[in-house]
Structure 1
Amino acid sequence: METTAIIGYIGALIVGLVLGLIGGGGSILTVPLLVYLLAYNPIIATAYSLFVVGTTSLVGTIQKFQKGLVDVKTGLAFSFPSFIAVYLSRRYLVQNIPETLFTISNFELTKDMGIMVFFAIIMLVASVSMIKNKKKEADITSAKQSYYKTFIQGLVIGAITGLIGAGGGFLYVPALVLWANIPMKKAVGTSLIIVTINSLIGFIGDVQTLDIEWTFLLTFTAISIVGILLGTYFSKFISGKKLKKSFGYFILLMAIYIMYKELK
């Protein structure tokens, strides 16, 4: 086995560990790993990321459900508009983005560059959220909002996660806390249902348009599942807040690196 492939599989283990330890962030590592280390183009990388994150999140959902930390009804209700947007964005939007977005002087912004830059911007948002790391859970006293608002928000978040091949846990957790009045720990578990459904349905959109290397993808995913099992176990002994903040700084640096790499 080539050294690059070995490092890639070690990365898969780390992706799972991160998901198990902090309940999100797997796709933030998966896409750069596939693009910069294993040399996949961003379209393939984001597709593979959806499958990896969706499958590992399914394992996480089962674990959280057994602990009573999943609001199934709310998760499924929020999933409906989201998975519609994810599927449509992967099936039609991503495939029809022009190869050259625009050209200014000698600078050409290509489709692949645009996807990675947009991914980096989302990473910046995620890193700020992790670094803030509020110590107190928000005290929510307002009534739940009308479903049509949740439907629109689900469509927007779904479209974003579909474009970048992310599970979107870092977007869904605050949405569930602020809009659905779900406690933080339960919001993390509930978000995994949405991430699982969105990611796997989004990947179905890709299967219809891309050639999938199933042997590699299933091996990478299996190693990530081992990682999430280990991460969930170790999360009992590690401070989630401190870990999340440290990971936030790491993601911030990675986002800056992607921006530099793509736009230099």
Structure 2
Amino acid sequence: MIATVWAASMALGGCVGLILGLTGAGGAIMAVPLLVFGLHLQVAQAAPIALLAVGLSAALGAVLGLRKGQVRYRAAGFMAATGILVSPLGLWAARRLPNAPLAILFAGVLGMVAWRMWNQGARPAAAAADAPRLPPCQLSASTGRLRWTAPCARALTGTGAIAGFLSGLLGVGGGFVIVPALRRATDLPMQAIVGTSLAVIALVSASGVAAAAAGGHLDWAIAAPFTAAAVLGMLAGRAVADRFPPRRLQQGFALFAGAVAAAMLAKGVIALVAAA
């Protein structure tokens, strides 16, 4: 029985890592639904396992970004501090909400991510460019660092809080929140946005995993093989990702994510009707 669980966990983790390596940070959101359908876990059980895999993968990406000077560590630390404070509230809510509403909520978040990735893949590169704007967080021409103002601090605080809450509640990294928020709130280049987002995800996920482990809510028999296989799958996905057109990868992931979101929604609705 244990060997079967380990094999299933590794297969699912490898699938998550492969998706993550091929599509980027958004692919990590598939960890929870694959654990729910593949190992019949509830959302609250799957969330800390997904956080462990997502956090470790993000940490590897953040370290690579730091070495290349792509991580704005002050902004990342500020958002992560806010997220770490709010993440336990999400964990608390996840333990008290029934599984069916959590599944429906997760389906809504996953559907939103699928829709956004489909639109990104469908738009021509030229059309995807943002209009000229003056974001609250701007780079200083003299120092190359972000200027810290009250509007900038508010924007980063709100982003960290939302990412932290969703991290604790649903076991998602929050990259689908952090990246668009940084694109709106800063004039950072995309590589810096992604690197900074990965650093925030790694730090917030670490706090969520630590809280779940301390509370006895992390099943290591599933989490260990799942996470190890996810990291290996991510490395394999990154090695072959440039062989495929990015827009087609995004659209393929969007279709897959949309189908999984529909299945999660159906599962939650059926459970609600059965309980009524």
- Structure 1 segment 196-211 matched on structure 2, within 5 A: 196-211=202-217
Query: SS of the counterpart of 2:243?
Result: coil
1:37 paired to 2:29: no
Query: SS of the counterpart of 1:221?
Result: helix
- Structure 1 segment 141-160 matched on structure 2, within 5 A: 141-145=133-137, 146=151, 147-160=153-166
Residue in 2 that maps onto 1:50: 51
**Can you list the C-alpha shifts for 1:191-226, whole angstroms capped at 9, x where unaligned?**
111111111111222122234332431221111111
Mapped partners of 1:156, 1:211: distance in 2: 22
Residue in 2 that maps onto 1:116: 103
Q: Which runs of 5+ in 2 are unaligned?
A: 138-150, 271-276
2:99–2:268: 8 Å Cα contact kept in structure 1? no
Residue in 2 that maps onto 1:104: none
Q: Which runs of 5+ in 1 are unaligned?
A: 99-110
**Can you list the C-alpha shifts for 1:149-191, whole angstroms capped at 9, x where unaligned?**
3313321332123211100111111111111222223212221
Mapped partners of 1:56, 1:187: distance in 2: 17
1:46–1:164: 8 Å Cα contact kept in structure 2? yes
**Can you list the C-alpha shifts for 1:92-127, whole angstroms capped at 9, x where unaligned?**
3333x25xxxxxxxxxxxx11111111100001101
Residue in 2 that maps onto 1:20: 21
Residue in 1 that maps onto 2:147: none
1:117–1:258: 8 Å Cα contact kept in structure 2? yes
Mapped partners of 2:157, 2:217: distance in 1: 32
Mapped partners of 1:208, 1:4: distance in 2: 23
Q: CA deviation at 1:84?
A: 1.4
Deviates further, 50-59 or 201-210: 201-210
TM-score, with length taken from structure 1:
0.86
TM-score, with length taken from structure 2:
0.82
- Structure 1 segment 40-189 matched on structure 2, within 5 A: 40-90=41-91, 92-95=92-95, 97=96, 111-133=98-120, 134=123, 135=125, 136-145=128-137, 146=151, 147-189=153-195
Total equivalences in the alignment: 250
Mapped partners of 1:184, 1:83: distance in 2: 24
Task: Give me the identity figure in percent.
Answer: 25
Mapped partners of 1:141, 1:36: distance in 2: 43
CA RMSD of aligned residues (A): 2.1
Give the counterpart of 1:240 among 246, 251, 254: 246
Residue in 1 that maps onto 2:197: 191
2:83–2:204: 8 Å Cα contact kept in structure 1? yes
2:55–2:206: 8 Å Cα contact kept in structure 1? yes
